[in-house]
Amino acid sequence: MLFQGVSFLLVTLTTFISVGALDVTGKIATNPACKDEVTRLCSSQILPNDLAVLDCLQNRRSDSDSDIKIECHSFLWQFKLNLTKGDQFLEAAEKMCSEELKNLEECKDQSLEGHKLSCLLENSDSVAQGQCKSFLVKIGSIIFSDFRLVEKFTTACQDDISKFNCGRLDSEEERDHKQGSTIECLSEHVRNLTKECHLQTLRVAELQADDYHLDRPLFLACRDDRERFCRNTQAGGGRVYKCLIKNKMQNDMSTKCREKLVRRQQLVSEDYKVSKGLVRACKQEIIEHKCFKETNSPVKDRKVKLAQVLLCLESALHAVRNGIGGECQAEMLDHRRQLLEDYRLSPEVVYSCQEDIKTNCRTK
């Protein structure tokens, strides 16, 4: 069933931005607002379409030489909004993912604008590598680059955005299309968010779990580390996340990347579904052994903590002969190692031992 809490139907333009007479038609590379920027920043790349151009501009290095002018920021924001609202976006999804839409039962009856795409993103596990998978990663990188492109996210998290200073909703801030940092900021405070914002933030993290490109701040911070430690690791299925986390404590891992990985691991602690590897390897065991907390909440609203799932699976491992498969056991061992390796992943330890840590372990 389609998860309605995080639908990718887009917010209306007038709510967030006014760009006056800015021309938002045509291609990015030929539009006066961005033409010079594309030539300066992307001329060394082969850019067959607007998605490739947008990807280049979004993934540029953050330094003074790669800054783009305000007019281009505004155009890119408007372009993304028009792209994800327009018929061409849905037509592209239907063309690139025609077989998947036919074969996924959950997506067959989705006729409302945006719901087909939302359904595909939520069922990306069932999408094989190929043109549809690549298309969904590109689209996901656009959507998750700006929290305003996720309907209901802004409404659910507006108070938390203000409380934790995670961004502004005024017109000045909206000229920059790098609002993915707002999602990152909220995820850093995930344990203190209001119930609805907590749910929305974790759901976004679940949808980002398949490919590290979808977590924009992590992708940008870890590009060099990915080349250093995980060059031969194929993206998709959470494999790059897993490789980077495995190398997190290496001395030559960059501080910025390590910080982003800790944030990602903390989200996994809050919601085991943020770990694509664990979900895939232990899906059957989690169902068979009923590793879900009894609750009156709808199934789609249940966010089960990693510790609960691991304890449940550990009990089944000792109680039932051959009750846990080999792949699932390997994932369990890997996640136990992560928890023991970094105390920050256990909120109970952080809360109960903070004074002792400051006093006795300051230099550790």
Q: Could you tell me if residue 198 is inside a domain?
A: no
Q: Helix or strand or coil: residue 49? A: coil
Q: Could you tell me if residue 69 is inside a domain?
A: yes
Six token digits for residue 66:
């790669």
pLDDT band with cut points at 50, 70 and 90 for residue 26: low
Tell me what the mean pLDDT of segment 261-276 comes to. 95
Least confident of 13-27, 224-238, 256-270: 13-27
**Nearby residues of 49 by Cβ (< 8 Å), 6 or more positions away:** none
Q: Could you tell me if residue 238 is inside a domain?
A: no
DSSP string, 162-203: HHTT----STTGGGSS-THHHHHHHHHTGGGS-HHHHHHHHH
Q: Could you tell me if residue 5 is inside a domain?
A: no
**What is the distance between the terminal CA atoms of the chain, rounded to a whole angstrom?**
47
**Measured distance CA(142)–CA(81) in Å, rounded:** 10
Tell me what the mean pLDDT of segment 226-241 comes to. 94
pLDDT band with cut points at 50, 70 and 90 for residue 363: low
Please tell me what DSSP assigns to residue 128.
P
Tell me what the mean pLDDT of segment 115-132 comes to. 77
Please tell me what DSSP assigns to residue 295.
-
Closest by alpha carbon to 324, among 290, 292, 286?
Answer: 286
Identify the domain boundary among 107, 131, 147. Answer: 147
Residue carrying structure tokens 């000229």? 175
Is residue 293 within 8 A of residue 342, CB to CB? The reply is no
Q: b/e map of 146-173 (b: 16 or more CB within 10 Å)?
A: bbbbbbebbebbeebbeebebbeeeeee
Tell me what the mean pLDDT of segment 294-314 comes to. 75
Identify the domain boundary among 102, 127, 147. Answer: 147
Q: Rg of the Cα trace of the chain?
A: 21
Residue carrying structure tokens 């993934």? 59
Q: Could you tell me if residue 197 is inside a domain?
A: no
Residue 313 has pLDDT above 60, yes or no: yes
Closest by alpha carbon to 202, among 10, 345, 6?
Answer: 6
Q: Could you tell me if residue 161 is inside a domain?
A: no
Closest by alpha carbon to 347, among 188, 196, 191, 205?
Answer: 191
Six token digits for residue 331:
């994932």
Helices (H), strands (E): how many in the chain?
Answer: 20, 0
For residue 161, the surrounding DSSP H or E stretch is helix 153-163
Tell me what the mean pLDDT of segment 333-342 comes to. 93
For position 51, what pLDDT does the model report?
78
Which of 7-16, 166-175, 266-275 has the highest mean predicted lDDT (pLDDT)? 266-275
Three-state SS annotation for 79-113: HHHHHHHCHHHHHHHHHHCHHHHHHCHHHHCCCCC
Is residue 255 within 8 A of residue 273, CB to CB? The reply is no
Percent of the residues in the chain that have a pLDDT greater than 70, as a whole number? 79
What's the whole-number average pLDDT of the chain? 80
**Nearby residues of 82 by Cβ (< 8 Å), 6 or more positions away:** 24
Amino acid in the structure at residue 106: E
Six token digits for residue 334:
């890997």
Q: Helix or strand or coil: residue 116? A: helix
Top pLDDT among 178 and 101 is at: 101
Top pLDDT among 347 and 36 is at: 36
Is residue 69 within 8 A of residue 128, CB to CB? The reply is no
**Measured distance CA(328)–CA(75) in Å, rounded:** 47
Top pLDDT among 116 and 171 is at: 116
Is residue 24 within 8 A of residue 75, CB to CB? The reply is yes
How distant is the alpha carbon of residue 321 from its chain centre? 37
For position 230, what pLDDT does the model report?
97
Residue 174 has pLDDT above 50, yes or no: no
For position 54, what pLDDT does the model report?
85
Least confident of 24-38, 193-207, 278-292: 24-38
Q: Could you tell me if residue 160 is inside a domain?
A: no
Percent of the residues in the chain that have a pLDDT greater than 90, as a whole number? 35
Q: Could you tell me if residue 133 is inside a domain?
A: yes
Residue 359 has pLDDT above 50, yes or no: yes
Least confident of 20-24, 146-150, 285-289, 335-339: 20-24
The residue range of the domain holding 122 is: 13-147
pTM metric for this prediction: 0.78
Identify the domain boundary among 95, 112, 147. Answer: 147
Residue carrying structure tokens 């609002």? 179
Count up the domains in the chain and report the number.
2
For position 199, what pLDDT does the model report?
93
